[in-house]
Structure 1
Amino acid sequence: MSLLLSIVLPVHGVERFLPRCLDSILGDTPAAESRFEVIAVDDLSPDGSGAILDEYAARDPRLRVLHLTENQGLGGARAAALPHARGEYVWFVDSDDWLPERTVSVVLDELRHEGRQPVPADVLITDFTHVYPDGETEPNPWRHVLLGSPLVDGCTLAEHPELFQTVMSVWNKVFRRAYLEGLGVSFGRGYYEDISVTYPALLAAGRLRYLDRPCYVYRRGRDGAITATASPKHADVFTQYDAIFAFLDRPDRPGQPVPAALRTLVFDRTVRQALNVYDTPGLVPGDRRKEFFRRISQHFARHRPDGYQFPGGVRGVQYRLAARGARIAYAELRRTGRLPRELKRGARAVAPAVKKGVRSGARFTAYNAFRRLPLDEHLAVYAAYWHRGYACSPAAIYEKAKELAPRIRGVWVVENRAQAATMPPGVPYVIVNTPAYLKVMATAKYFVNNVNFPRTMAKRPGTVHVQTQHGTPLKAMGMDLRDRPEAADGMDFGRLQEAIDRWDFLVSSNPHTSEHFARAFPGRYEMLDTGYPRNDRLANATPDEVRAMRERIGLRPGRTSVLYAPTHREAKGGYVPLLDVKELARRLGPSYTLLVRTHYFHTGGPGDLAAGEDAAEIVDVSAHPTVEDLYLAADVLVTDYSSMMFDYAVLDRPIVVFAPDWDEYRRVRGVYFDLFAEPPGAVTVDVDGLAKALLAGDADPAARARFRARFCPWDDGGAAERVVRRVFPV
């Protein structure tokens, strides 16, 4: 029986890590499983690694050991093993890492599947996990680039060039051996040795495929890792770049043609990597920095593609300086934020971008410095609605955490001073992009938000992110909008997945929400089936609180208050007056008060609200900071497709749906159930029908009861407590 897989294992100075690595490979399948082999290369290891390999090989014939008499480095050890490999595919595993349980079995199954395909994959790319010295783990930060892409079924790099955004190492890539040997490429010597293989292999492949399963655990930050080691050998990267472009320039280059656009992407990524190495403190020794920068300039001169256009903004300025070898000017730009003298002339167009970029760069530097501090195990950061203030479920969780977990200090993030002025007395806050903000974002243990925190604020190992969301979904959400471009309105689904991958907990309001959120927001988080914490206030409201809220809003005794709150329509832009509120006011008469609240996305508002003496009073409550106040004050809710209906149903008061554009909304946005078939009350499509439904009073309590049974089963007033007890130490 032919071998499917050869696992190549270079070994040098990893005595304390090696047994776990070997056990994760050989212990995954019975010893009788002979479809794979392990070729371990003892690269003249100075510790007991060689003896460990021989001991394992004596017990398991699938392991063969090569003992080198001269240290070759990672690249040389891999190259020494390749002539001995007999598998159809080869996988280069680092011996200080390990494979998760059942990985070898799964990969073998995948390779059998590939063997039955008309065009077997030249490279099988696997998902992976980072693990840090403190034991904390982090999922593949580039998974969003791969999941849902053509790579899942198989494609070329030209068909999914976004692959260049991911890690270019070999350890998460399984190569078809005949394909790899036919490329005529080899691992380099020294640092960054694998990119001279991975770039050509990805560029020339007739078919690449992604396996969405974590098949590799990669140690980050361990002692001796090149990403944290000062050494002149970082300059080895330029030799690997030369090898990549030599492959691209070969007239007899095998494999797929490489479009000019891909060559440009390769060049851009190599420049970015070289500058990142140069800019990272402690990597390039001080006496070698001048030479390293000169090598970057030479790289530009040697490999810059024809017609190459510099990027925009501050990165483009940095590239221009690197291309000129202007090291002092580059350092001045990085250090002071001043536009270098040689670029000032005729640079008005780029100066604003440079200033903005430098400010951003300074914040990035400060944030990264704060990230070196230990996590504050007793600090939680709260935010709501893109830092608009104190609101929604995060506010309810904050209040309950003060009661149940008093050791956890809560700090709120607000956008500016005007919003800071609206914060309740005694609630701590920081303003976005201030040093205090950067520090809490870098060091807090807990993060609670009803939207996503900025993607520039990276998730640290050990932190806990709680996503509360801000509404039960009638309309399609998240990844369910991928085939609805009009509703998605330019949504970056890659960034959305990146945000989802940060979540540790996702709060759900009801079983309906759990079902649809699990699909719309695919991730590894824990779904908290608790109910919405913001609705605790509604479930626990007393008659005295309701009376006080009506008085605060200015409602006259004896009048029926109607809250009209339409949702946002992506295809329409701003506020869309589908309802003539003045005509409705005239039909209802003076015994009613209309509270009109436009969606928070809109800045226009309902305009002139004077309807006449015999009409209902119309009050614009769009600016009222807390929607729950309005729920308590209103006797009836009129809405269309807003999630407000699900919250308001907790109060068990009448709800009337006004949906004149249901067919269009359902077509454009997509919905999770038929609102006309399962409404919370009367359904209307014009002002006449709406007025009649409101004047009829509580006409359909049975529909409301069915609606409440489906969407309010967890709204018992204890949702915030359930979240706090699960997330925080109490």
Structure 2
Amino acid sequence: MSHTQNPANPRISLVVPVYRVQGYLRACLDSILEQSFTDFEIVAVDDHSPDACGRILDEYAARDSRVRPIHLEENQGIGKARDLGALRASGDYIFFLDSDDTVAEGALQAIADRLELLGDPDILLLNHVRTYWTNRVQVSAAGELLAAAGTDVFTALERPEYLTMFAVVWNRVYRREFYVGNGFTFTDGIYEDALMVYKTMLTAETIAGLDHVCVEYRQRRQGNSMRTPGRKHFGIFEQYAFLFDFLDERPHLEPVRALLFERMVSHFLFTLAREDRVRPQDRPAFFKQSSEQYKRYKPVGFKKPEGKIGLRFDLLERGSYPTYAAAIFAGAARAKLRKRAAKVKTQLGRKAYDQLYRMHLRRPIDENLAVYSAYWNRGVTCNPAAIFEKAKELAPHIRGVWIVRPGEEENVPAGIDYVVARSPRYWEVIARAKYLVNNVNFANEVIKRPGQIHLQTHHGTPLKQMGIDQQRFPAAAKNMSFHKMLERVDRWDYSLSSNQHSTEIWERVYPCAFESIDSGYPRNDVYFKATAEDVARIRAELGIKEGQTALLYCPTVRDYQKGFIPRIDLERMCRELGPDFVVLVRAHYFYGADPQLQILQERGLIKDVSKYPVVEDLCLAADALITDYSSIMFDYACLDRPIVSYVDDWEVYSKARGVYFDLLSQEPGQTPGATATDENQLIEVFRSGAWKDQRSTELRAAFRERFVQYDDGHAAERTVRKVFLNQDATPAVIPLAERTPAPAPAPGAPVLIPSQADGADRVTT
């Protein structure tokens, strides 16, 4: 049967239920839309997702008419969402795809080819792989089985071994007339896939296989509803009861009853053994129901499997949970206790302070104590500092204590309580504080107690790849244990975000169970509160002369090289731009003092502001920013002033460190303004006025729309209300068009730049 592409009747309808997957949804949709085969539609059902999933679907629908979003007014669960999607589907075939999984390259073409070759079977079984956050890819057990099917078409009674495939609906496609015509619908609750798989397989008159890998099944480290323990997992018993009712009504299916019984019991035992499904305190009740269902549905003459699994079948049939637990769980429990004891011992070590820390861990949590740290204890700065100040105003009952590294004590502002890292009082406040606030992770040895609240504020918007994405880039991944990194992230309760891009990235690259607070970055509040007088005062303190155009140059660290290496001949740049420009140079804090910068400053050519304590002041003082991959560009965009991207090593950096979008693309939303890839281009950007022309202004506007999403001057308040006061994160974010950033420096006299090319003078304003 051939098929001609018809938008009203596509070949394949991908039904995608969507709920709380904003970190993965784009990857899912992109994997479909980038397929070489194009005769499809995506029926995406937003199951009243509380995050940004609905907005993401609408964004994709606006770009591609094949994306058809459906927004539900209330959450109905994955089964009902799939049912609605199937009813709205118009394709020849229905392909149920989970929204955190992806379609493998070439999959849709392979499916379409096989369907046409075999004359449109009722069900086509698909191969898949499991993908892990460690980048490990595991082939499925079904590969050989599917390869053995070749081009045969069969029924489940003829080939019952295909009933043993992983019982999920996304590893097969259904002919829509078969599926809808038989009135298949999902039952409520989880484990609905198994019932649907067996009922459809036993009903189908034509089944075929495809060994091409079609689905990349994401093994989420956390956040998968199936791996959240609770009584909901008892729903498995009802699903299998429905299945055996179905079998009872169809005596001709008796030949597969024993096989399905074995599948059911194996599923019970698998679920019982998983602590991420059945809690230890619920195991006796789960075992009891499993045993009852075993006895109720056991076929006459059923022969148990051999080996260890057969022993478990036998113990389940006997119905004594104490006997089962002694035989199955005792050894595992002992091993777990040994592992836990070793982990605690490793965390605490053997030094004298460990005993002190242990003692404080046994004391009550101080409900009115918050501990703050920033940049690995470098001082009172960044988002934690802004939150600290706002908490003094809105939550004065919360005492704040800062952690600083040895040698930084004299830089702590007067009146602020602090402890030196790893001092005796440090262990006390870390152990007893209700709130832990940091823009990086606390040390591995810090143990998060039940009842403590950890707020991760971050310190930038990700352009360079972060978290587990760094595994693919040796320069970023060197000397890093990603397992330990995620153990640190497991302590987070809240994660701050200043834009939807960040929210999605954080949720995907840190696959842990935190809640995102889309409040904006508190450190950026000042960009909407500072006055013209503040800007003039800061410029005067920095020694910027009246009428000078101040350029703030902030390059970021290079993972692939050691030490600070200026990527601009600053002496030449200052000479060619002339005295009406002044360059403020801020090296990354990872680097120490640079003697070359000191020499240039002593000669009056630049101002070395690397050690200036408040970077926000530098941004307020600057007329324009020059940077490369530093996240300062996203903060500076709050001010709606020119940003110039100087990226002379783009090819090397993007390959060695990895990036999420192309700064040089000149695409709206990716490039913040004028760009330069060598020193001559950079100088010409300022000579020609391109740094602030209409094109750069338009690019900056699109960049701000994407990245200055939640920053409006009230981020600290929203954060304090949410975390410290347990209130809604209010006030609501002000629309971008209604925000007023701090005024730019007062315009001076026209700037005269001598042209090195022709000797003539060029005047810019």
| TM-score, normalising length: structure 2 | 0.53
Classify 1:661/1:380 alpha carbon distance in 2 versus 1 (closer, same or farther; 3 Å).
same
2:12 paired residue number: none
In the alignment, does 2:525 pair up with 1:541?
A: no
Tell me how far apart the structure 1 counterparts of residues 463 and 595 of structure 2 sit (CA, whole Å).
Answer: 24
User: SS of the counterpart of 1:575?
Assistant: coil
Which of 669, 672, 686 in structure 1 is aligned with 2:678?
686
**1:559–1:591 contact (8 Å) kept in structure 2:** yes
Residues 1:502 and 1:721: Cα distance change in structure 2 (over 3 Å): same
One-letter amino acid of the counterpart of residue 538, structure 2: M
Residue matched to 1:388: 378
SS of equivalent residue, structure 1 residue 381: strand
| 1:128 and 2:276 aligned | yes
The one-letter code of the counterpart of 2:358 is: N
| Equivalent in 548, 566, 569 of residue 559 of structure 1 | 548
| Inter-partner Cα distance in structure 2 for 1:526 and 1:636 | 35
Q: 1:197/1:598 Cα in 2 relative to 1: closer, same or farther (>3 Å)?
A: same
Q: Compute the displacement of 1:616 (Å).
A: 7.1
Q: 2:389 aligned with 1:399, yes or no? A: yes
User: Cα offset for 1:274?
Assistant: 8.5
Q: Identity percentage over the alignment?
A: 42
Give a deviation string over 1:538-589, Cα, whole Å, max 9, x none.
1211111111111222222222111111111111232232222122112211
Matches of 1:562 and 1:433, distance apart in 2: 40
Match of residue 100 from structure 1: 230
For the residues of structure 1 that align with 2:465 and 2:189, how far apart are their CA atoms? 42
Task: Note the alpha carbon deviations across 1:689-708, whole angstroms, 9 max, x for none.
Answer: 11121232522211111111
Quote the Cα distance in structure 1 between the aligned partners of 2:514 and 2:577.
48
Partner of 2:495: 506
Deviation at 1:115, TM superposition (A): 7.7
Q: In the alignment, which of 675, 681, 706 is matched to residue 702 of structure 2?
A: 706
Aligned residue for 1:180?
Answer: 308
Aligned residue identity for 1:103: H
> Does the residue aligned with 2:544 lie in a helix, a strand or coil?
coil
Give the counterpart of 2:359 among 365, 369, 378. 369
The alpha carbon displacement at 1:358 in A equals: 4.0
Specify the code of the residue in structure 2 equivalent to 1:662. Answer: W
Deviation string, structure 1 residues 444-477 (Cα, Å, up to 9, x no partner): 1111110011221111111111101000111111
Which residue of 455, 469, 475 corresponds with 1:486? 475
Partner of 2:608: 620
Aligned counterpart, 2:570: 581
Q: Which residue of structure 1 lines up, in the alignment, with residue 663 of structure 2?
A: 675
Pairs within 5 Å for 1:646-661: 646-661=634-649
Greater CA deviation, 99-108 or 625-634?
A: 99-108
Distance 1:445 1:403 in 2: 18
1:631 aligns with 2:619: yes
Question: Any conservation in 1 of the 2:371–2:430 contact (CA below 8 Å)?
Answer: yes
Q: 1:98-130 deviations in whole A, cap 9, x for unaligned? A: 96132134699899999889x999977635399
1:464 equivalent in alignment to 2:453: yes
Question: Residue 582 of structure 2: SS of its match in structure 1?
Answer: strand
Distance, in Å, in 1 between the alignment partners of 2:416 and 2:622 is 28
Return the alpha-carbon distance in structure 2 between the equivalents of residues 375 and 430 of structure 1. Answer: 18
Structure 1 unaligned residues grouped into runs of 5+: 5-26, 35-97, 134-169, 202-236, 241-265, 280-313, 316-355
Paired letter, 1:720: A
The separation in 2 between residues aligned to 1:598 and 1:639, in whole angstroms, is 11
Residue 272 of structure 1: CA displacement?
A: 7.7
Whether the 8 Å CA contact 1:510–1:712 is kept in 2: the answer is yes
SS of the residue aligned with 2:274? Answer: strand
Distance 1:274 1:497 in 2: 20
The aligned length equals: 462
1:725 aligns to 2:717 (yes or no): no
Q: State the Cα distance separating 1:604 from its structure 2 match.
A: 5.1
1:254-265 counterparts in 2 under 5 A? none
The aligned residue for residue 412 of structure 1 is 402
Contact 2:663 2:671 in 1 (8 A): yes
Query: In structure 2, the residue corresponding to 1:676 is in which secondary structure?
Result: helix
CA 1:101 to 1:404, structure 2 compared with 1: closer, same or farther past 3 Å?
Answer: same
Describe the superposition over 1:264-306 as per-residue Cα deviations: whole angstroms up to 9, x where unpaired: xx8xx998888999x9xxxxxxxxxxxxxxxxxxxxxxxxxxx
Structure 2 residue aligned with 1:46:
none
Q: Which amino acid aligns with 2:565?
A: V
- Structure 2 distance, partners of 1:480, 1:121, is 35
Instruction: State yes or no: 1:449 paired with 2:438.
Output: yes
Do the aligned partners of 1:585 and 1:618 also contact (CA within 8 Å) in 2?
Answer: yes
| Contact 2:401–2:419 (CA under 8 A) maintained in structure 1 | yes
For 2:237 and 2:443, the matched residues in 1 are separated by: 36
Instruction: State the Cα distance separating 1:642 from its structure 2 match.
Output: 0.5
Moved more, 375-384 or 491-500: 491-500
The answer for the alignment partner of 1:161 in structure 2 is none
Separation in 1 of the partners of 2:525 and 2:585?
24
1-side partners of 2:481 and 2:544: how far apart? 44
Q: Residues of 2 paired with 1:123 and 1:445: CA distance?
A: 38
RMSD of the alignment, in Å? 4.7
CA distance 1:687–1:123, shift in 2 (3 Å): same
Structure 1 distance, partners of 2:540, 2:414, is 22
Deviation at 1:196, TM superposition (A): 8.2
Conserved 8 A contact 1:28-1:105: yes
Work out the CA distance in 1 between the residues paired with 2:631 and 2:597. 26
CA contact (8 A) 1:381 1:444 kept: yes
Q: Which whole-Å CA distance do the structure 1 matches of 2:715 and 2:338 have between them?
A: 51
Contact kept? 2:229, 2:276, Cα under 8 Å: no
Distance in 2 of aligned mates of 1:444 and 1:406: 15
Note the alpha carbon deviations across 1:608-659, whole angstroms, 9 max, x for none: 555699x972121111122112111211110001100010111111111100
**Contact 1:122–1:179 under 8 Å retained in 2:** no
Secondary structure in structure 1 of the residue aligned to 2:588:
coil
**Any conservation in 2 of the 1:681–1:704 contact (CA below 8 Å)?**
yes
The separation in 1 between residues aligned to 2:372 and 2:684, in whole angstroms, is: 44
For residues 645 and 275 of structure 1, the distance between their equivalents in structure 2, rounded to whole angstroms, comes to 44
SS at match of 1:379: strand
Shift of 1:508: 0.2
- The correspondence of residues 341-360 of structure 1 with structure 2, limited to 5 A, is 358-359=350-351
